Chains A and B, each alone.
Chain A
């Protein structure tokens, strides 16, 4: 009897810890709270850009006005974060259903030397067709990464080859092009989906 009581108390304690953890995560990940810091002398995340889509069209930030969008920086010679993120974003778009049509998802390469428009088109054929691949000149890519405060860096592997370190978060922008938060690479899929649902709900 005593053993049972101890076990039950143990279960209760574990449940309390789990609940506290969830509450903490919820408060931490509150996607509704604007994270923007403009006005405090710090420039906002985001800004004008002009790039080429994987279909060969020009896409500028002005074309995005009126609808929320998500921006992910990456490259196709990427073994882990980029394909998994594109896969997750595809799953999210599927889960959003028709609401997903209101969301534009942009995959901007930080490796324009290797990621040609053609390679991006091939690569993206494995993911949700609503995802738009973007490339440009090195200067155009630099401009957009600076605007989004994204970082990237080439890292030499063996021989003449290289891989890239880069920002792994997905930036969430509202219909007016204002930064509202990020999808964190390490957070649960459900949390990400909730954030996207809020984003498309406006």
Chain B
């Protein structure tokens, strides 16, 4: 137990908070293509949750990640503060990044802010929902239920589509198309 540095505050991932130009363009492209893709979004009040997805998990895995884009069309900021899912004992909102070759992850303590008129992408290598205490192995092609809890919009029921074990985005199937990992 000598290596435990429990609770030591990790370096803030400022890079992850401010979307880069590429990310902004990507978000724009996603927004444009969302209409064409299969309808898989969830709304409550000013919030729209686009294409929640997860990955197939290896046998015996106890955790999984959840990803989606959350858009806020309203005039006030809202916050993703928690949620639940049928496949997990509990879930948390996390932030991760690979900095200098080291993968760092930490809980987003105060909830994830969704500013008015903006979209926040939960994706591999960035913000994500972390499912703990998995109740079963997730298989590609299935869907599972969950609900996301927001400070103002309240609880929004959603459904996660399970992609392949190596997928880097929603609706990618095998994950063979990706070039490099998100990050």
B24 touches A (CB below 8 Å): no
CB proximity of B32 to chain A, nearest CB, Å: 21
Q: Is the CB of B165 within 8 A of A123?
A: no
A154 touches B (CB below 8 Å): yes
CB proximity of A179 to chain B, nearest CB, Å: 14
Query: Within the assembled complex, what's the spacing in Å between the Cα atoms of A126 and B55?
Result: 13
Q: Is the CB of B3 within 8 A of A165?
A: no
Q: When A and B form their complex, what is the total count of cross-chain residue pairs whose Cβ atoms lie within 8 Å?
A: 128
Q: Is the CB of A186 within 8 A of B180?
A: yes
Interface string of B1-23 (1 = CB under 8 A from A): 11111111010000000000000
Q: Is the CB of B98 within 8 A of A123?
A: no
Which residues between 143 and 183 of chain B lie within 8 Å of chain A, taking CB atoms?
165-166, 168, 175-176, 178-181, 183
With a cutoff of 8 Å between Cβ atoms, the chain B residues found around residue A188 in the complex are 179-180
Count of A residues near B, CB < 8 Å?
45
CB proximity of B83 to chain A, nearest CB, Å: 13
Interface string of A42-81 (1 = CB under 8 A from B): 0000000000000000000000000000000000111111
Say whether chain B's binding surface is mostly helix, strand, loop, or mixed.
loop
Which residues between 63 and 96 of chain B lie within 8 Å of chain A, taking CB atoms?
63-65, 90, 92, 94, 96
B51 touches A (CB below 8 Å): no
Count of B residues near A, CB < 8 Å?
47
With a cutoff of 8 Å between Cβ atoms, the chain B residues found around residue A163 in the complex are 63, 94, 105, 130
B61 touches A (CB below 8 Å): yes
> Whose C-beta in chain A lies nearest to the C-beta of B6?
A156
Partner of B102, one of A84, A119, A142, A168: A168
Q: Is the CB of B59 within 8 A of A123?
A: yes
Query: Within the assembled complex, what's the spacing in Å between the Cα atoms of A163 and B1?
Result: 14
Question: Given contacts A87-B175, A161-B132, are A185 and B1 in contact (CB under 8 A)?
Answer: no
With a cutoff of 8 Å between Cβ atoms, the chain A residues found around residue B106 in the complex are 155
Partner of B183, one of A123, A126, A185: A185
Partner of A153, one of B1, B3, B94, B176: B3
Which residue among B3, B106, B175 has the maximum number of chain A CB atoms within 10 Å of its CB? B3
Question: Given contacts A79-B63, A83-B58, A123-B61, are A138 and B10 in contact (CB under 8 A)?
Answer: no
CB proximity of A135 to chain B, nearest CB, Å: 14
With a cutoff of 8 Å between Cβ atoms, the chain B residues found around residue A91 in the complex are 166, 176
Residues of A within 8 A of B (CB): 76-81, 83-84, 86-88, 91, 119, 122-127, 138, 142, 151-158, 161-163, 165-169, 182, 184-190
12 A-B pairs whose Cβ atoms sit less than 8 Å apart in the complex: A78-B63, A79-B64, A79-B130, A80-B128, A83-B61, A123-B61, A126-B59, A154-B4, A165-B104, A168-B101, A168-B102, A185-B181
Residues of B within 8 A of A (CB): 1-8, 10, 55, 57-65, 90, 92, 94, 96, 98, 101-107, 124-125, 128, 130-132, 165-166, 168, 175-176, 178-181, 183
